Amino acid sequence: MMALPPTLTPKQYLVHHSADQWEEFVYEWVMALKEAGYVDVVGMGGSNDRGADIAAFLTARKTDGPWHCYQCKHYDKALGPATAYPEILKIHSAVAEQQYMELPERYVFVAPKIGGTLTQLLAKPSELKLTFFAWTEKNTVKLLEEYGEGALQRALDRARQTDFSCFEAGNLDKILEQHATTPHHVRRFGAPLPDRPAREPAPPEHAAGETRYIQQLLDVYSEKWGYSSGSPDGARAHPKAVRNLQRQREAFYCAEQLRVFARDSVPTGTFESLQDDVHSGVVEVEERDFDTGYERLHAVLDAARDMQLGANVLLPVVKPDDRKGICHQLANENRLTWVQEDEQ
């Protein structure tokens, strides 16, 4: 038998990212740092990023107040001082020229691999500062051409006032651990979905958010069994209607639980895409001629149960009741109708 190819780890996937994909990954991670207390996170990358690829703001004053900077670097080789020094100079220049009013409280280099020399320098800020100024002296001619004499001097003056302990490197293992808590991890790395929580029963009382799909079901029961559909009382008094209504509510809440699970586990829009797939698969059935809404309802539910759902990332955790429940979610939004006007 032919052996299956080995599965790439997230670290191995990241090695093959482009610079833009790497920055997107870092942005997803920073957005997940809830404990940092960020009020907003903004991608600033580009040819004129002013020393910050991703800015995370601690107050509404943004870079006029306390903020953190994440500098994204993705190279074939490990990140070393020769790459870090120009970025350190750039952020000081941006502050000296008042492009930012404040230096970031934290300036984090984020790279697939940080070289040993830079790691050691970041662990000893005083030495990092000394070697930075040694680098600027060695490269004075080139830096004068790039910045101009006045701007370079202002940047260096600002750097002399800085405690270089603000510069650090991100730990990729910890970054991946935190990224795994985001809805983006499954899509980016093809990782398995987390376990879906145990299903909870539908609450005994009808919630305001159920109004439309329940009314549609009451119309179905009223048409079939001949009682007023204005309230659930008639359905509760009918043995078949009350059991059917309870089953449909359980399915609706199953799909609602899947909606919440998707919100926390996969990228925005994934669950809505699944709803659209179900709608596309059943709407032709819903539009057929039926003698009763009861027949239409069950024909649509059968079609949803049996249909192929494409390649949505949620499929491994989709249950039969989710499919039925999604139909009721669609009915709740008037995208499906059981008892149609020409049948009443």
* Residue 35: predicted pLDDT: 73
Confidence of residue 194 (pLDDT cuts 50, 70, 90): confident
In sign, the C-alpha dihedral spanning 206, 212, 216, 222 is positive
Q: 54-63: per-residue pLDDT in tens?
A: 999 999 999 9
Average of per-residue pLDDT across 64-78: 94
Residues 324, 89: Cα–Cα separation, whole Å: 59
- Please state, for a pLDDT cut of 90, what percent of the chain lies above it: 74
If DSSP codes are grouped into helix, strand and coil, which group holds residue 58? coil
- Please state, for a pLDDT cut of 70, what percent of the chain lies above it: 94
The partner residues of 57 in beta bridges, in order of sequence, read 40, 67
Q: 274-319: per-residue pLDDT in tens?
A: 999 999 999 999 999 999 999 999 999 999 999 998 888 899 999 9
Residues 170, 114: Cα–Cα separation, whole Å: 9
Confidence of residue 183 (pLDDT cuts 50, 70, 90): confident
Sequence-distant (6+) residues with CB within 8 A of 6 are none
Q: Is the pLDDT confidence value at 165 over 90?
A: yes
Which residue carries 């199953």 as its tokens? 254
Q: Is the pLDDT confidence value at 3 over 60?
A: no
* Residue 237: predicted pLDDT: 79
What is each CA distance from 168 to 11, 69, 119, in whole angstroms? Answer: 20, 10, 8
Average of per-residue pLDDT across 143-158: 97
